[in-house]
Amino acid sequence: MSESSAPISGAMKGSNAKRGLWSSRLAFILAATGSAVGLGNVWKFPYITGENGGGAFVLVYLLCIAAIGLPIMMAEVLIGRRGGRSPVNSLREIARHDKLNPAWPIVGAIGVIAGFLILSFYSVIGGWAASYVVKAGSGQLAGQSADAIGAIFSDLLADPATLLMWHTLFMALVMLVVAKGVRAGLERAVSILMPALFLLLLTVVGYAMTTGEFGRAVTFLFQPDFSKLTTSGILVALGHAFFTLSLGMAVMMAYGSYLPKNISIAKTSIAVCVIDTGVALLAGLAIFPIVFANGLEPGAGPGLIFQTLPLAFAQMPMGSLFGTLFFVLLIFAAWTSGISLLEPIVEWLEEQKGMNRTTSTLGAGFVCWALGITSILSLNLWSDFAPLGAISMLEGKTIFDLLDFFTANILLPLGGLLIAVFAGWVMSRQAMEDELALSKPMFRLWYITVRYITPVAVGAVFIYNLIGS
Ligand code: PHE
């Protein structure tokens, strides 16, 4: 089946041939990390951790990463490499080859829809980060108090025109790269800019240690208090494991189709999970000491990092420089993730509708941009509008909240569930043993996880939340 495999875009394949196998392993890790590390780690993880009471939530999140995220990532990469095509076609090819139900490409369709909905609000948040480059760079934040910094953020949210401008800019950046179809340069940039982001986060953690509340932050993040954990908190932790690792929408499947056969899927997937989790935990360690030292509210919601990090940059030496650099790197991380959100849609339009890359990027990007306007309005003019408020679980949720909830907590886990079922129950066991090349006990552990643990865990969390609401 794989002789006829056609790579999705020539960029990585070509460079692999030139640079040999080791660099193609690195290329895969860079591409996958570029997609995984983004706003999910730095923006979303700290604020949902704050909203859900800290330690116990973090523990469930870590468990979800290790016991569900990692095995599903391996399954996605494996299916992609086996099929050797774009996700929809990989699934179709495997299904045809093994005479399976032709409905499986629906997983690819979930990816297309999820990518589209996520990118619409992701771009708005990417826009927030972009606006902070200017705020930090122009010295606006220097020496400001917590109240003043809070007010700067509220002013931004209250101003739809400014939000729209930054959202437009972010979306244009994403579309530019997707339209050109060139990823190689960007992936190389990841290898410099990601470590730089990591270092800057470490710098803020270093600063945060001097605020005197570091110990409290560590306790908050790592000492589980199960009385604070709710059923919906578990769903959020599970959903976030998918979101942060870019799972459940076949992104890793697409990248897997480039991975040479002799490279360990397990080791590379572990590397991506460790890097991604490391960045998230570091972001938490950077932010919570500032929260406690300034008497801020851990459950402040989506604005948390924009109310805390600028405060650190306002107070630390060379803060304007570090602040500017930090937000530039954050935009870059969000950019590479945004590209991987738009890519599946564009690919789908190319393959299924026969459109060319420029037209499909412009079309998909425009519709996504337009949908993003509803998220912008949710922050100001429509902040009281909860379209599905009649359902108790969705009470008080704005359109922006609903988009986030529906994608991260429902669509991605559902996509992941289907991928686990496909790998665990549909594909031939022999094929997977060949692909993974693990020791017998390790293979069995993985197989049991995708076959039983993942479907049962995701199913149980879904059902509990339905009953609980
Ligand atoms: N993983 C990205 C982040 O954490 C978001 C993302 C989700 C990207 C799904 C692609 C697919 O920011």
What are the average pLDDT values for consecutive 10-residue runs of the chain, which has 469 residues? Answer: 35 36 72 94 97 96 97 94 82 78 78 93 97 93 91 96 98 94 74 90 92 91 95 94 95 87 93 97 95 92 93 89 94 94 89 89 96 95 86 87 92 93 89 92 95 93 77
d(CA 433, CA 291): 48
Q: How far is CA 99 from CA 4, 92, 389, in A?
A: 18, 10, 44
How high is the pLDDT of residue 461? 87
Phi and psi torsions of 36, nearest 5°: -70, -50
Residue 422 is classified by DSSP as I
Ligand 1 site, residue 246, Cβ cutoff 6 A = yes
Ligand 1 site, residue 277, Cβ cutoff 6 A = no
How many separate domains does the chain show? 1
d(CA 422, CA 414): 12
Ligand 1 site, residue 243, Cβ cutoff 6 A = yes
Beta strand spans in 127-278 (E): none
Determine the atom of ligand 1 nearest the C-alpha atom of 245: 1
Ligand 1 site, residue 424, Cβ cutoff 6 A = no
Ligand 1 site, residue 40, Cβ cutoff 6 A = yes
- Tell me the one-letter amino acid at 240: H
Determine the atom of ligand 1 nearest the C-alpha atom of 38: 12
Q: How far is CA 209 from CA 104, 317, 349, 390, 458, in A?
A: 50, 14, 49, 45, 37
Residue 371 CA to ligand 1 centre (angstroms): 18
Three-state SS string over 387-423 comes to CCCCCHHHCCCCHHHHHHHHHHHHHHHHHHHHHHHHH
Ligand 1 site, residue 58, Cβ cutoff 6 A = no
- Tell me the one-letter amino acid at 385: F
d(CA 203, CA 160): 33
Residue 396 burial class via C-beta count within 10 angstroms: exposed 0-12, middle 13-18, buried 19 and up: exposed
Ligand 1 site, residue 233, Cβ cutoff 6 A = no
Q: Tokens 């940059």 map to which residue?
A: 313
Is residue 11 in a domain? no
Residue 240 CA to ligand 1 centre (angstroms): 9
Q: Tokens 């469930």 map to which residue?
A: 60
d(CA 185, CA 167): 24
How high is the pLDDT of residue 26? 83
3-state secondary structure of 112: helix
d(CA 79, CA 202): 36
* In contact, 365 and 351? CB cutoff 8 Å: no
d(CA 460, CA 453): 10
Question: In this structure, which residue's CA is closest to atom 7 in ligand 1?
Answer: 246
Q: Tokens 């095995």 map to which residue?
A: 71
Is residue 1 in a domain? no
Question: In this structure, which residue's CA is closest to atom 9 in ligand 1?
Answer: 246
Length of the chain: 469
Ligand 1 site, residue 208, Cβ cutoff 6 A = no
Among residues 74, 113, 106, 115, the alpha carbon closest in space to that of 88 is found at 106
Please report the sign of the dihedral spanned by the C-alpha atoms of residue 90, residue 93, residue 97, residue 99: positive
DSSP 42-74: IIIHHHHHHHTTSHHHHHHHHHHIIIIIHHHHH
Q: Which residues contact 427 (CB under 8 A, 6 or more apart)?
A: 79, 82, 94, 98
Three-state SS string over 307-331 comes to HHHHHHHHHCCCHHHHHHHHHHHHH
d(CA 433, CA 420): 15
Q: Which residues contact 329 (CB under 8 A, 6 or more apart)?
A: 193, 196, 197, 200
Residue 101 CA to ligand 1 centre (angstroms): 29
d(CA 163, CA 165): 5
The model's pTM? 0.92
List the end-to-end C-alpha distance of the chain, in Å, as a whole number.
Answer: 46
Is residue 14 in a domain? no
Looking at residue 434, which CATH number applies to its domain?
1.10.4160
d(CA 273, CA 32): 10
Is residue 3 in a domain? no
Is residue 410 in a domain? yes
Question: In this structure, which residue's CA is closest to atom 6 in ligand 1?
Answer: 246
Determine the atom of ligand 1 nearest the C-alpha atom of 276: 4
Residue 13 CA to ligand 1 centre (angstroms): 23
Out of 44, 120, 174, 244, give the residue to mutate to test ligand 1, the one with the largest number of ligand atoms within 8 Å of its CB.
244
* In contact, 245 and 5? CB cutoff 8 Å: no
Out of 243, 244, 332, 410, give the residue to mutate to test ligand 1, the one with the largest number of ligand atoms within 8 Å of its CB.
243
Ligand 1 site, residue 33, Cβ cutoff 6 A = no
Ligand 1 site, residue 341, Cβ cutoff 6 A = yes
Residue 246 CA to ligand 1 centre (angstroms): 4
Ligand 1 site, residue 47, Cβ cutoff 6 A = no
Residue 340 CA to ligand 1 centre (angstroms): 8
Residue 372 CA to ligand 1 centre (angstroms): 16
Among residues 47, 307, 11, the alpha carbon closest in space to that of 182 is found at 11
How high is the pLDDT of residue 102? 67
Ligand 1 site, residue 123, Cβ cutoff 6 A = no
Report the Cα 275 to chain-centroid distance in Å. Answer: 13
Q: Which residues contact 233 (CB under 8 A, 6 or more apart)?
A: 52, 53, 56, 57, 60
Out of 341, 345, 347, 411, give the residue to mutate to test ligand 1, the one with the largest number of ligand atoms within 8 Å of its CB.
341
Phi and psi torsions of 418, nearest 5°: -65, -40
Please report the sign of the dihedral spanned by the C-alpha atoms of residue 133, residue 139, residue 142, residue 146: negative
Ligand 1 site, residue 345, Cβ cutoff 6 A = no
How high is the pLDDT of residue 206? 92
Report the 10 Å Cβ neighbour count for 303. 17
Question: In this structure, which residue's CA is closest to atom 10 in ligand 1?
Answer: 246
Among residues 407, 162, 153, the alpha carbon closest in space to that of 301 is found at 153
Is residue 9 in a domain? no
**4: its two tokens:** 């006829």
Q: Which residues contact 360 (CB under 8 A, 6 or more apart)?
A: 345, 346, 349, 350, 353
- Tell me the one-letter amino acid at 75: A
Domain of residue 236, residue span: 25-468
Residue 451 CA to ligand 1 centre (angstroms): 25
d(CA 326, CA 316): 13
